Structure 1
Amino acid sequence: MKNIFSRLTSSGKSSDRRDFLRNAGLGGLSLGLAFDGQHDQEMEFITQKVSRDSKPSELRITDMRVAVLNGVPFSSPIIRIDTNQGLVGWGEVRDGASANYALMLKSRLLGKNPCNVEQIFKQIKQFGGQSRAAGGVCGVEMALWDLAGKAYNVPAYQLLGGKYRDFIRLYADTPESNTYEGFAENMKKRRDQGYTFLKMDFGIGMLADQPGMLVNANNWSVKQQWNDRESGKLGNYANTKHPFTRIQVTKKGLDRLVEHVGKVRDIVGYDTPLAADHFGHFDVNTAIQIGKAMEPFRLAWLEDLVPWFYTDQWKQITDAIETPTLTGEDIYLKEGFIKLIDAKAIDMIHPDLASSGGLLETKKIGDYAEEKGIPMAMHFAGSPISMMANVHCAAATENFVALEHHGVDVAGWEDLVTGMRPIVEKGFVKVPEKPGLGVELNEDVAKKFLKKGATWFAPTDTWNTKDSADREWS
């Protein structure tokens, strides 16, 4: 269009320009001819509705702020990155992590072009660690892809190489109940919601305080798997790595677990994949015993039987049982996954994008696993912003199986964002085609979830100044 206009304007024939505008069907824009003979003003007038905000090469980060939401389903700090062109990028620190993990990165971001995502990621990834300590780096990386997509007017998956699928399958936890009859009723609700992949929790916590089912459990707070503030006589159970508790399951305890899972499997049926998670803290021998006991029920996988970094123990378990093994939600960066994959220690990988390194690093993890014939499920427990980051990554990764959704029963969860409604439909998410992540924070609704005592995207100027040398080599 520019070349055509240059030829018309260089001819000096006003009638040619009028004919062009009329024939091109730009009705109403011919009013620009009021500037006849002033071609720069004319072009500015007729393109006045064209957005000039997105000039990717000139885009710069000017600010970053955080608001911590609670109950979505857990605590989730939401990141907002502002730019000199009015574009806003949204990201999310992993559930249960500190907003400070992101704020400490602000001085490394100011003045940078957010479209250079991988370059920035390589500069800040040293400030992430395993599990929640990765939350700041990963949340920032999400927001950078959101900005890059908006700047280039394409969805994030397109920047990752395009998509393999249009719909992302979700898996959901099975709702708990005090009775199997109540559980069956809850399961009917899940089916009515359209979920075609489910996960359940069972383990030694349900055997605690029952006589004859566990060995060496009386002095541990076995029911407190996640409470790192409650210590027993032998120490803090939540923070004691699995092999060191020396808790064992008796034959009576194994029979009780088999009875429980069998009843659940009968209710769920065998047409629906059913995975299992959260077994408690015990050694590799007990893990193998439980794994063998579960083989008749054809579970989709057994998750996190021992900590992810015990590669040799994972290989022992995987080699000993027939049910697929899976781990990875607390691994930061691809190297930890590569070690497990190369050792043939697990059957499936399970990155949490908000810990594993963000969209691009998680795709690299998935791609490496795919080359080795390993499928990828994805862990997720946050707001719709983090979900959309997962959705774009899952769409762009060939070996993806299913994405976890922890917020199924959170009232108002889908209202936390605008730009996509519904988000979840019959257990699937349609991959968005809007630029970036495809959603914007709905501030009116999100404020209702603001964590008590937290501030709403307050100024963060105290984090503006870099006060450390970051180079990792000499």
Structure 2
Amino acid sequence: MKNALKDIIKTTKEIEKQYAAERLAEMNNVNTKANRRDFLKKTALGGMSLTALMGLSMEDTMAETTSNVRRASAPSDLKITDLRYCVTTVLGRTAIIRIDTNQGIYGLGEVRDGADPRYALMLKSRILGENPCNVEKIFKIIKQFGGQARQAGGVCAVEMALWDLCGKAYNVPAWQLLGGRYRDNIRLYADTPTGSDPQDQKEKIKYRTETQGYSWLKMDVSINQVRNIPGTLNNTEIMKQGSNQWQGGYMSYANTKHAFTGVQITEKGLDELAKIVHEVREMVGYEIPISTDHYGHIDVNNCIKLGRVLEKYTLAWLEDMVPWQWTEQHKTITDALDTPTTTGEDIFLLENFKDLIHNRAIDIVHPDLASSGGLLETKRIGDYAEEFGIAMAMHQAGTPVSFMANVHCAAATQNFLSLEHHSVDLPWWEDMVKTTGGDKLIVKGYAPVPLTAPGLGIELNDEVVKQHLHKSDSSYFAPTPEWDEKRSHDRTWS
């Protein structure tokens, strides 16, 4: 018994000696945090034994006994201390936010393209002092300040940043926090390139599919493409009130819902639009899915006429043919056509997808994570649609920050089809970030899922982002103390 005890003591002393050396090396490491270094000094470094812990506080004792837990911080003690932003020129104007904490780790999020960063800044006073790992709790605090489309940009940006932070705190990828992954690579779909002539377009499509490796494409089939061809449309007077379907005054064509424009497509117009799709299909072939979008503001009857003309081209889907709010019209179109239909990029929260799903008004849900509520809410949308036999594709038009948030969500959602990449031909887009796991953002039309990198798996490449700040606001994560104070009572019930 005595000999056995001597052996245990000898072995223990050897372990403690090695442990002391490791702790000394940690204390001398320039990357060791000050609070950790203070703890190491308290423990005398001479070969610490269990009895040495008796003189420490409960906090220090817990820190010591859990020191080998693999994590990047003390998650239970994390607090949000700041929210800052910068505005990039991606898609015209897209803001990135950064949420800072008391432990030096931070999370990145993105306010959807074309949305005001103030949608996120006004949430700062609601989240200061909160533990960012309580993602769902914080989401429930702030979701009342989100609305449809770009109005959800602030809530979604904060939610993205929280998952990035939480993943970094626990040293796991965001997809792991969502319940695990179904796939290691995320299929992407990209715009079909146009050319100066058919031969030029054919060469560009070959480059897109063979060199870049994209196996799913999307193209516009818009009445704007034929508006200057006589005899293709009638009632075009309203289309003169604004340059296109996105820009114009409140009473312009751009802001007149589809059923209220009175624009109709003639037989000649249908032939011209079919010719556009035919030419692309001939260049691409039938093996590669082609989705279509941006038809213009035409009513449900013209949507059906156009859809029937295009059915022979086996399109992957018809997207946003009428405003998403009109569930019955979507169902009318879906029931009339064999081509799959989809909508959803402007819908905030699962609750607003439910009518479309319950009524099987569409064949595919198509949320934009930067509008739908963020990673967890978008996964909930996909999971709910799956119960009704409906697949999910994902709309994405932003910086690599929201792109990677989508990658993690897509990895964790079983009924996922494909994710949009809207900046394929922007040469500096991928350089805006560095992957912390060493992977490339995109490889031959797929986005590799970060298997070990914590959080979203990216860090900003500051120098590149600074080169592409919007001229209206060239600040770069400057302090935002004017947003610290909460000035209202937010409860929505009495």
TM-score normalised by structure 1 residue count:
0.91
Q: Does 1:394 align with 2:405?
A: no
**Residue in 2 aligned with 1:466?**
486
Which residue matches 1:18?
13
Please report how far the alpha carbon of residue 181 of structure 1 lies from its aligned counterpart in structure 2 after TM superposition: 1.4
| Closer/same/farther in 2, CA of residues 265 and 48 from structure 1, 3 Å limit | same
2:108 maps to: 90
Shift, 1:177, TM fit: 1.9
Deviations 1:343-385 (A, max 9, x none): 1111111000000000000000000000100000000001111
* Cross-structure match for 1:179: 197
**Distance in 2 (alpha carbons) for counterparts of 1:31 and 1:122:** 45
Contact 1:21 1:29 in 2 (8 A): no
Q: Which amino acid in 2 is paired with 1:310?
A: W
Q: 2:287 aligns with which of 253, 271, 280?
A: 271
Question: Any idea what the Cα deviations from partners look like across 1:136-159, whole Å, max 9, x if unmatched?
Answer: 000000000011111111111111
CA distance in 1, matches of 2:24, 2:118: 53
CA distance in 1, matches of 2:123, 2:268: 52
Query: Does the C-alpha gap of structure 1 residues 31 and 160 become closer, same or farther in structure 2, counting only changes over 3 Å?
Result: closer
Residue 124 of structure 2, aligned match among 86, 106, 112: 106
How many residues matched? 459
Find the aligned partners of 1:139 and 1:378 in 2 and give their Cα distance: 17
Q: How has the CA–CA distance of structure 1 residues 253 and 111 changed in structure 2, closer, same or farther, with 3 Å as cutoff? A: same
Structure 2: distance between partners of 1:263 and 1:442: 40
Q: Which residue of structure 2 aligns with residue 295 of structure 1? A: 311
Indicate if the aligned counterparts of 1:164 and 1:397 stay in contact, CA closer than 8 A. yes
User: Counterpart amino acid of 2:355?
Assistant: K
Q: Matched residue of 1:220: which SS?
A: helix
Note the residue ranges of structure 1 that are not aligned, 5 or more in a row: 1-9
Residue of structure 1 equivalent to 2:477: 457
Which of 213, 225, 228 aligns to 1:209? It is: 228
**Matches of 1:107 and 1:361, distance apart in 2:** 23
Q: Measure the CA separation in 2 of the matches of 1:252 and 1:132.
A: 36
What percentage of aligned pairs have identical amino acids? 55
Quick check: 383-392 or 36-45, which moved more? 36-45
Q: Return the TM-score normalized by structure 2.
A: 0.88
Contact persistence 1:30–1:46 (CA under 8 A): no
Aligned to 1:61: 80
User: Where does the alignment leave 5 or more consecutive residues of structure 2 unmatched?
Assistant: 26-43
Matches within 5 A, 1:176-255: 176-191=194-209, 192-221=211-240, 224-229=243-248, 235-255=251-271
- Does residue 306 in structure 1 map to residue 341 in structure 2? no
Residues 30-69 of structure 1 aligned to structure 2 (within 5 Å): 35-36=46-47, 39=52, 54-69=73-88
Contact 1:59 1:83 in 2 (8 A): yes
Counterpart of 1:472, as a letter, is T
Decide whether the 8 Å contact of 2:294 with 2:320 is kept in 1. yes
Which among 377, 380, 393 is matched to residue 377 of structure 1? 393
Match of 1:130 in 2: 148
Q: Is the 8 A contact 1:53 1:86 kept in 2?
A: no
Output the amino acid matched with 2:476. Answer: W
Number of the residue aligned with 2:183: 165
Q: 1:115 aligns with which of 133, 141, 152?
A: 133
CA distance in 2, matches of 1:210, 1:304: 24
Q: Quick check: 281-290 or 42-51, which moved more?
A: 42-51
Report the equivalent of 2:377: 361
Query: What is the CA distance between 1:15 and its match in structure 2?
Result: 4.1
C-alpha separation in 2, matches of 1:182 and 1:94: 33
Cα 1:244–1:36, aligned 2, differ >3 Å: closer, same or farther?
Answer: closer
Structure 1: which amino acid aligns with 2:466? K
Query: Which one-letter code corresponds to 1:369 in the other structure?
Result: A
| More off after superposition, 206-215 vs 399-408 | 206-215
Pairwise CA distance, 1:207: 1.1
- How far apart are residue 46 of structure 1 and its match? 12
Shift of 1:210: 1.4
Give the conservation status (yes or no) of the 8 Å contact 2:20–2:46: no
Aligned partner of residue 158 in structure 2, secondary structure: helix
SS in 2 for 1:354: helix
Q: Distance in 2 between matches of 1:241 and 1:447?
A: 38
Please state whether the residue corresponding to 1:20 is helix, strand or coil.
helix
Task: Give the partner amino acid of 1:429.
Answer: A
Q: 1:34 to 1:406 in 2, by over 3 A?
A: closer
**CA contact 2:440–2:448 (8 Å) conserved in 1:** no
SS of aligned partner of 2:237? coil
